[in-house]
Every structure is written in structure tokens, then in C-alpha cells.
Amino acid sequence: MSGEIDTVPAVGSPPGSRGSTPTDTLRSLVGGAEKWAAIVVLLVMTILPAVESIVRLVLRSSVPGAVLYVQQLTLWAGFLGALLATAGGKHLSLATGSMIPEGGLRRAAQIYTGALSAGVCALLAYAATVLVYKESAQIRTLPGGIPEWWSEVVMPVALGLMAVRFCWRASDRVSGRLIALCAAGGLCLLGFFGSNAGHLLVPGTLAILLGVVLGAPVFVAMAGLAMLLFFADGTTIAAVPTETRRLVASSTLPAIPLLTAAGFVLAEGGASGRLLRLARAFVGWMPGGMALMVVGVCAGFTAFTGGSGVTILALGGLVLPMLVSGGYPEKFGIGLVTTAGSLGLLFPPSLPVILYAVVAGASVADLYIAGFAPCMLLVLVIAAYAIAAGVRHKVPRQEFHFGEAAKSLWLAKWELAIPTIVILSILTGFATMVEAAAWSMVLAVVSQSLLFRDLHWRKELPDVLARGATLVGAVVILLGVAMGLTSYLVDAEIPAAVLAWTKTHIQSQVTFLLVLNAALLVLGSVLEIYSAIIILAPLLTPMAPAYGIDPLHLGIVFLANLELGFLLPPMGLNLILASTRFSQPLTRLYRVALPFLLVLVVGLLLITYVPAMTTGVLRLVR
């Protein structure tokens, strides 16, 4: 769904600044309150683990309840961020909705998806209310004597507000909003009073799938399917928010909001310029040095921000003119930037790795270690291709100056410190993953806002943190409802059935991996990476032991395929973003990115069929 209609104003916008009606004033006040609440939650989540690590180091003690409160704050960060994502139309969805032409058909699609989303959120709000009511009868308390269910109230309240907001955003006309409201109400009545739940399963599933194709958020589809399946099975739909609440008990989940916010701060600050200067100073003298610089910086920036799309949007306008002015053909430059934006997703502190670890129950540390050599291989094969292009086009090289190298290294010390802290913390056990993420957030804010002053701490930093919270909400609510759907699938033994079918039709490990590569490349091109991890990982994880594959190796193969899926026509995310960023037709992006994709496929096959690159490195380190 588009974010053009009724977007909540920026943090600090005066009430009523967007209009003089009471409705505009109320929306401005509510939107500002939501954003500031999300910002405060992120900051408290940052402070508690950071202080905890200091207290443990200095006093050999701990902050009472710090871990539990951070887990509860993750729940708040997720649902407040989901509210912001609803306000701005930023929930993760398929790109197919944007392909509907302007006019009556698009307006009808928006009303349909708005009604579907509102109805599902209303049912989720009801289910969460049932859950909180049951929890209120328990005597569980947080340190300080606060009842645990008080924290869980954020779920039904946020979901109820999201339902209202989806109806409002369904149309810019009163008639369209009323149609969406009535349709959402009808959906709720079916959920509450359906006399034969089994008869709703097929039409309900088709209606949900249609909504996804038309642009409804993926979390709406997963929540709708989960509640529909539970409902048809005679189980209370409160099972869905129950799984969402259990999610906060994950020891690594709080790292996701912290690293997301840190990535946004780095992307909006001056980190990209300092990293470019560093790369130019150290590799500019080599053949194809400027292209090598682009590869290295884009890979590092993607690891920082967790998403290749951010890299293309943040760095594309900086590095493409440098490549062209340096003697590279424009089509090569566009292809390189588009491709390099997908590299680095396996390097620390990349978010997709953490998310996969949460969903698959794997070790974040082991995944980072196992993924380092494969990620380096993908970077190196593109670097080799870039060097060959530099030699072929006789691109001039610059001289190496020790003074400039030392100065650029000193200027980029804060940006380099963030992945270094994460890696060392993991390898040495000095800090937990969440504590390392908290210090990454501290370093990002201090360096970009206070030391370099790239982001004004009062005028710009709050909006950047709010945008980070928006992505956090989109990911956490998707992960939460996916856990509910996964719970049903496990109870219904669906993964076991899929495994049995696969084993019947594919006996060879080699063939299985090849089919897996092809399927994941295609799925990675149409699914946003966070959605792909949450949907597919629970189905694939049981297949590793069945085919004699190390689970960590399968995880790295899985993530590497999704990384390349960004470049696969016709719907690869990097292709679409690069087409928008460089004002180029998609067909041209297909042509310029194809050679790079073929080079990366060679690297992917090596990663897939040489498991020593993952498990072997892990054994050496361990």
C-alpha cells in the first residue's frame, strides 16, 4: 500500500499544522505521541543493556530486572513501531500492489486491502484482549512488583488503533472509508459468529491471498491465515497473540530493534562519506581501485543497515558519479552499485542473520562465524570482476598516500568500531548480543549526532529514530504473527508432511541443494527478505538432518540465496530500487545486472557444495 495518504507528520510538528480541522489536530497529536513513545522505548532499551554490561564488569553484579524489562520493551517497540508503520503505509508487502495502474481499479484495491487489514487487526485485538484478561488472573510480576500483564496491554490497544487506521487509509473519500469499515465489520462478525468454521477455510484463504496480491501487508495475511486455521480447527484465535507474547522471551530478539535503529542513524548521518574516503585511500591505487572501493563500502554499509535497499538509496547518488567520472561506463557503474548493494548481508551485525537465528533457533555467533567466509567469497568474486573491468577500460589509478590513509582511518574509527564491538563481544563472551547491539546504538548516536554533528540531536535525530522504529514494528509484528502460524503448522505436522514429500521425490543431497537454490532465488526475488526468513525458515530447518546437511550450513545457503534474489528479474528488490534511484527503465537494469548475477551464482554454487567454507571455519574458530 502506498504511503501517500494521511501520513502522520514529522516529530515535533505543531498540532494542526497540516490542517485546521479537529480531525487533523487529533491525528497530529496522536501521531506525535506514538512517535515519541517509540523513541523513548528505544532509548531505554539502549540504556539498560549498556548499563548492565558496565555494572557486571565493574561491580561484578547486575541491574535487577534489566533483562526482563528489555524483553518487555521489545514488545512495546514492536507494537508502537507497527502503529507508525500503519500510519505511513510502511508494512512489509509484496511489490505487486504497486503495479496496479492509477484509477478506479487501484482505489478499489486499496479499499479491499484496507478492509481486510482492518478486519484482521480487529480480530487480533479481540484475541489479544482475551489473552490479557487471562493473564491478569496470574500473579506473575516484573521486578518492582509491576504485574506482567500491564505490559501486555499494548497489544490489544495498538492492534485496535491499527484497525481504525487501516480503515482510514483505505481511501481519501468518506464513502470509501465507510465501505472499508463495513467490510471489516462483516469480517469480524464472521469471525465471532461463524456457525460452521470449516466452510470459511477455502473462501477465507482465497480472500486473504487476493489481498496480499493487491498489496495488503504480509503480516495481515499470516495473521489472517493463522486465525482462520485455528478457528476452523476449533481452537481459540487467542493462540496467535499468545505466540507473539512468547516471542519476547527470546534472548537475542531485542538486538533487532537496537541494530535497526543504529543502522538508520548511520545511514542518515555522514558514515557513508567517511567510509568512502577510507576505501578510496586504501584501495584507490589498485587496478579497478574505485570499483573495489564501491564494493567494499556497499558491502560494509549493508551489514550496518541490514538491508541492501538502504545501501542503494543512501550511496547510489554518491558512488555512481564517481565511477563514471573515473572512467567506467555508466551501465557498468549502475550494475556494480545495484549488485554491491546486496553484498554484506552475512557480515556482522547484519539483521537478517539475527532474525534467522531467532526463527530457526540457531546461534547468532555461530551463524556470523559460519557466514564470514561465504560472504567474503561473494565480495571477492565481484571485486575480481570489477578489477578486470578496470583493467579492460584502462581506468586511471590514484597514488597511495600514507597520510591520507591514516587520516581517513582515524575519521572512520567510530563506524569501524560498531562491527568490531559486535564481533569481539561474540567471540570473547565479554557481552551478550543485546548488550553489543546496545553499545552499537550508543556509538552510532554519539558519533553521528554529538561528535560529527551530522544529525542535529533535536531537529533530525528523533525523526531518524522514529523511522528506525517503524521498520522495527513492521518486522516484529510480522515475526510475532508468523510464530502463531508456525505453531499451527507444527501442531498439524505440516513440516513433517513437506519433508516426507520432498524425501519421496528427491533422494540425492546434491539434487536437493540444487532445487533449493533455484526455489530460493525465485522466492527471494518476490519476497522481502524479512518475510522470506519468517515464512520459509521453519519449513526448511527440519530438512537439514534429513539430507545429512549441517543446519548452520543450510542457514548460510538459505541467506546467500535470498541475497542473490535481490538481483533476479523481474521483481528483484535491488533492480526496482536502482531503477527508481537512477531513473532507468527496469529492462535496462535487467541487462546491466545480469553479468554480475551470473558471477555471483558461481560463488553461490561454491558456497552450497563446499560446506567446509561454513562448518570448517566454525570448527577452526571453536
Q: Which residue ranges in the chain fall short of pLDDT 50?
A: 1-19
- Indicate if 179 and 317 belong to the same structural domain: no
Residue 18 has what pLDDT? 46
Q: Report the C-alpha gap between 172 and 150 in whole angstroms.
A: 36
Q: Note whether 361 and 497 are same-domain residues.
A: yes
Q: Are strands 146-147 and 141-142 parallel, antiparallel or unpaired?
A: antiparallel
Kindly compute the dihedral angle of the four CA atoms of residues 352, 165, 133, 252, in this order, to the nearest 10 degrees: 10
Cβ(382)–Cβ(299) below 8 Å: no
Domain stops at, among 216, 247, 278: 247
| Domain shared by 96 and 209, yes or no | yes
Contacts of 588 (CB under 8 A, 6+ apart): 331, 334, 579
Q: Is residue 306 part of a domain?
A: yes
State residue 29's pLDDT score.
84
Q: How far, in Å, are 57, 155, 347, 524, 545 from residue 559 at the CA level?
A: 35, 31, 11, 9, 18
Residue 68: domain span: 22-247
Cell of 128: 489479544
Considering the domain architecture, whether residues 235 and 261 belong to the same structural domain is answered as: no
Does residue 7 belong to any structural domain of this protein? no
Inside any domain, residue 89: yes
Instruction: Say whether both 242 and 355 belong to one domain.
Output: no
- Domain end call among 222, 247, 272: 247
Q: Does residue 260 fall inside a structural domain?
A: yes
Q: What contacts 150, CB < 8 A, 6 or more positions away? A: none
Q: Confirm whether 112 is domain-assigned.
A: yes
In a domain, 157, yes or no: yes
Residues 45 and 117 in one domain: yes
Specify the residue for cell string 505511513: 88
What phi-psi label fits residue 145: left (phi over 0), alpha (psi between -120 and 50 degrees) or beta?
A: left
- Cα 3 from Cα 180, distance rounded (Å): 18
Domain C-terminal end among 247, 266, 288: 247
437 and 411 in one domain?
Answer: yes
243 and 264 in a common domain: no
Q: Is residue 467 part of a domain?
A: no
Do 161 and 297 share a domain, yes or no? no
Q: What is the pLDDT of residues 210-237, one digit of tens each?
A: 998 898 998 999 899 988 888 888 788 8
Same domain (yes/no): 228, 259? no
Using alpha carbons only, how large is the chain's radius of gyration in Å?
A: 24
- 266 and 226 in a common domain: no
Domains of the chain: total: 2
Kindly report whether the global pTM for this prediction surpasses the value 0.85.
no
Give whole-number Cα distances, 601 to 54, 212, 323, 373, 613, in Å: 45, 30, 24, 16, 16
Q: Looking at residue 449, what DSSP letter applies?
A: I
In a domain, 93, yes or no: yes
151 and 265 share one domain = no
Reported as half-sphere exposure (CB side, CA atoms, 13 A), residue 206 has a value of 4
The pLDDT of residue 82: 94
The values of phi and psi at residue 147, to 5°, are -60, 135
Amino acid found at 385: Y
pLDDT at 309: 63
